[in-house]
Amino acid sequence: MQVIDFDGSLTAQAPLRERIDAGIATRIDAADLAARLRIVASRSALQDLASRLRDAAGGEGTPVTFYGSGDFHHLTTALVAAVDEPLTIVHFDNHPDWVRFPATVNCGAWVNRALELPHVRKVVTIGPCSNDLVRPEWQFANLKAVVDGRIVLYPWRHAPSRVWGRYGKAASFTQEGSFLRWRNLADEDWADFLDDLVAELPNSAIWLTIDKDVLGHTDACTNWDQGELPLGHLLAAVKRLAAERRIIGVDVCGDWSNPQFSDPFRATLAFFDHPPRRRPALHELAVNARVNSRLIDCFQRVLP
C-alpha cells in the first residue's frame, strides 16, 4: 500500500500513519507538487509524480494507493497508465468526471483521459447523485462514449436528464423523448445489481477507483458535494468484484483537505466547482479515518 502525501490529510489519520510507521505502507512525499496538481494537473508536475511513483514501485500484492482529496482524482489516469495489460475501470463517485472540455488532465475530465489509453477498454461509473446529470450536454458530458458502451454510468439516485440529442438506449438509461431515464440503483436490490455488473464486465483485469464523495455525510467528509451510496454497499461491491474478477490495482480519494493554490486559475475553478467552503470540525473529519480503516481491512481480506 502507498500513500501519496500532498497535504498531511492522510498522515494525520491513525490507520494510515501507523501503517507508514510500521513499514506496511509507503509514504510518497508530494507536498511540493500539490498546488500544481490540484483540480488541474500541469504536465511537469505529472512527470515529477510519475518519477516518484516509479521509484517507490515494488512490493508484493495488489497495489493500493491513497492520495487524499478528490481534487486529485485525475491521478487515477497516471496510475492506470503504468499498467501494461487491458483493463476495465470500475469507478465509484458522486460525479461522472466525463467532461470533454477542456481536454486537460483535470478532476472533472479524467475519465476521458483514461479512455485515451490504449489498454483501457471501458469505465463503469457507479453512484452519482450530483447535478452533473441535470443537463449533461450543457456540461460537455461525453454521452457518445455512453452510447458506444465505453462509459457505463449507474446513478445511485437521479431524475431523468434533459437532452436535445438522440441517444436511444444504453445499459444504464432509456431515452424517452427529450429525457434520459437512468437506471437508479437506490430502487434496486444491491445483490441483483452486482450480479448484472459482474456479468457485463469483460474477462479482463479490473482497476478499482473510489472517491469517497460517493458516500453520505455519515461516512465521509470531502471537498465536494456528496452522494448517498451506503458504505456497506461499497464494501459488498469490492468483495464481489474481487471474488469474480481480477483486481490489479486500487486507488482511493475523497478525504478533506484545505485547498492551497499557487495561481488564480486553479483557485477560480475550485471556487465555482466546490460547494461553499468551510473548515470541518475535528469530529467531522474523524469519519474519514474510520472509513479508510474499514476500506483497508476489506482490501487486506479480499485482495492478493
Which 3-state string (H, E, C) describes the chain? Answer: CEEEECCCCCCCCHHHHHHHHCCCCEEEECHHHHHHHCCECCHHHHHHHHHHHHHHCCCCCCCEEECCCHHHCCHHHHHHHCCCCCEEEEEECCCCCCECCCCCCECCCHHHHHHCCCCEEEEEEECCCCHHHCCCCCCCECHHHHHHCCEEEECCCCCCEECCCCCCECCCEEEECCEEEECCHHHCCHHHHHHHHHHHCCCCEEEEEEEHHHECCCCCCCCCCCCCECHHHHHHHHHHHHHHCCEEEEEEECCCCCCCCCCHHHHHHHHHHCCCCCCCCHHHHHHHHHHHHHHHHHHHHHCC
Quote the pLDDT of residue 279.
Answer: 85
298: pLDDT confidence band, cut at 50, 70 and 90?
very high
Instruction: Check which CATH number belongs to the domain holding 288 and give it.
Output: 3.40.800.10
pTM of the model: 0.95
Task: Please say if the pLDDT value at position 269 is more than 80.
Answer: no
Number of domains within the chain: 1
Give the cell for residue 93: 463517485
57: pLDDT confidence band, cut at 50, 70 and 90?
confident
303-109-256 Cα angle (round to 5): 60
260: pLDDT confidence band, cut at 50, 70 and 90?
confident
The model's pLDDT over 135-183, given as tens digits with 9 standing for 90+, comes to 999 999 999 999 999 999 999 999 999 999 999 998 899 999 999 999 9
Alpha-carbon distances, residue 201 vs 74, 78, 90, 229 (angstroms): 23, 22, 9, 21
Residues constituting the chain = 304
**Is the peptide bond preceding residue 102 cis, with omega within 30 degrees of 0?**
yes
The model's pLDDT over 83-120, given as tens digits with 9 standing for 90+, comes to 999 999 999 999 999 999 888 999 999 999 999 999 99
230: pLDDT confidence band, cut at 50, 70 and 90?
very high
Quote the pLDDT of residue 223.
Answer: 92
Quote the pLDDT of residue 303.
Answer: 97
Task: Please say if the pLDDT value at position 266 is more than 80.
Answer: no
Quote the pLDDT of residue 239.
Answer: 98
Domain boundaries, position 142 = 2-302
277: pLDDT confidence band, cut at 50, 70 and 90?
low
Task: Please say if the pLDDT value at position 199 is more than 80.
Answer: yes
Rounded to the nearest 10 degrees, the angle between the axes of helix 14-21 and helix 282-302 is 50
Once rounded to an integer, what is the mean pLDDT over residues 25-40? 95
Quote the pLDDT of residue 60.
Answer: 82
Rounded to the nearest 10 degrees, the angle between the axes of helix 282-302 and helix 231-244 is 20
Quote the pLDDT of residue 101.
Answer: 86
Mean pLDDT of the chain: 94
Rounded Cα–Cα distance for residues 2 and 64 (Å): 6
Give the cell for residue 211: 472517491
Once rounded to an integer, what is the mean pLDDT over residues 48-69? 92
Report the candidate in 54, 126, 64 with the shortest Cα–Cα distance to residue 90. Answer: 126
- Tracing cell 437508479 back to the chain, one arrives at 184
Quote the pLDDT of residue 263.
Answer: 81
